[in-house]
Structure 1
Amino acid sequence: MNEETMNPGMTGMFVNQSMKDDLLCSAKWMAFLCIIGCIGVVLMIILGIIILAVGSANSVIGAGAGFLYLILAAIYIYPLIKGFQFANGTKAACLTDNASQLARGFSGLSAMLKFFGIITIVILIIYAIVFIGALIFGAALMKSSI
């Protein structure tokens, strides 16, 4: 292992062989998950087009559901790109002992995790709004029935 390349000047962190093996394993699993994600995006696009075509002929709600599927598929492309960036950069770094490739890989992982963190916050906010709305709606129903 060329430790000077992966650990220039030995001023930063040290990456030993065990860590490289774990990183390489993680990169392979990330590539697998991203491939499955790409298949899922393609299926969402196909389903969105079908729902859009059939739904728009029947109702506005059907057309809206089709557009929703297409929008969700488009949103999911970004984390897939960043996941592939992590997988490819980390694999290249582990095989060639290249620190800049490792940095590129971790940059992709960081961006992907930020994306999912933001999505999680948005979903939690939506849940809170729905919960509060349901409480208000339930209270209004109870008050009107009394």
Structure 2
Amino acid sequence: MSEPIIQLAELKLTSEAKSYLRETAKWAFFLSIIGFIGIALMIIFALFASSIFGSLPQYQNLPFNMGKIIAIIYLVIAAIYLFPVYYLMQFANKMKAALSLKEDAILTESFEMLKSHYKFIGVFTIIILSLYALVFVVAMLGLLAS
């Protein structure tokens, strides 16, 4: 008959670990601000892409509107990019609050946001690598067929 293992010790944060987390939160906040600025620039570019590409002579004779296609692509990229940047900002804000208020619940929430950030980045990386592999296989099949 096996009995469940009960862990009696708690994980404690040393002052050095708290210092590292505080610095990490500052950098995460900085990177999230840069990320939001990048998203804003992508949206601004998307709004003007139709005008920009519509005025270029090499894109005027195409059977489709290149500006609208580029605008849609930029808006989709901005929307995808919004999630990890938001999670990173939430991590930074919650970590700063947890360290200043010494609240375990807020610390847990901050690590949940960090987990969400990295989970999103990981899943997105798997999707992109899968698309690269698919493009590679299709390109090889195209070369073999010709």
Return the offset for 1:56: 6.1
Tell me how far apart the structure 1 counterparts of residues 12 and 51 of structure 2 sit (CA, whole Å). Answer: 56
Mapped pair 1:63 → 2:56 = no
Counterparts of 1:103-142 in structure 2, within 5 Å, are 103-141=108-146
Candidates 74, 78, 97, aligned match of 1:73: 78
For structure 2, the residue ranges without an aligned partner over 5 or more in a row are: 1-7
The residue number in structure 2 matching 1:5 is none
Match of 1:24 among 19, 22, 25: 22
Q: Which amino acid aligns with 1:40?
A: G
Contact 1:55 1:66 in 2 (8 A): no
| Contact preservation (8 Å) 2:90, 2:110 | yes
Q: Distance in 1 between matches of 2:66 and 2:141?
A: 25
Find the aligned partners of 1:131 and 1:96 in 2 and give their Cα distance: 52
Q: What is the distance in 2 between the residues matched to 1:97 and 1:26?
A: 17
CA distance in 1: counterparts of 2:120 and 2:54, whole angstroms: 32
- Residue pair 2:88, 2:114 contacting (<8 A) in 1 also: yes
Q: How many pairs were matched up? A: 132
- In 1, the alpha carbon distance for the partners of 2:80 and 2:35 equals 12
Provide the rounded CA distance (Å) in 2 between the counterparts of 1:56 and 1:70.
Answer: 18
Superposition TM-score, scaled by structure 1 size: 0.84
Q: Which residue of 2 aligns with 1:12?
A: 10
Compare 100-109 and 10-19 and name the one that shifted more: 10-19
- How far did 1:109 drift? 0.4
Unpaired segments ≥5 residues, structure 1: 1-9, 142-146
Aligned residue type for 2:95: T
Q: CA deviation at 1:73?
A: 0.6
Q: AA paired with 1:42?
A: A
- Where has structure 1 moved over 4 Å in runs of 4 or more? none
1:45 is aligned, of 34, 43, 46, to 43
Partner of 1:33: 31
Contact 2:21/2:95 (<8 A) preserved: yes
**Percentage identity across aligned positions?**
36
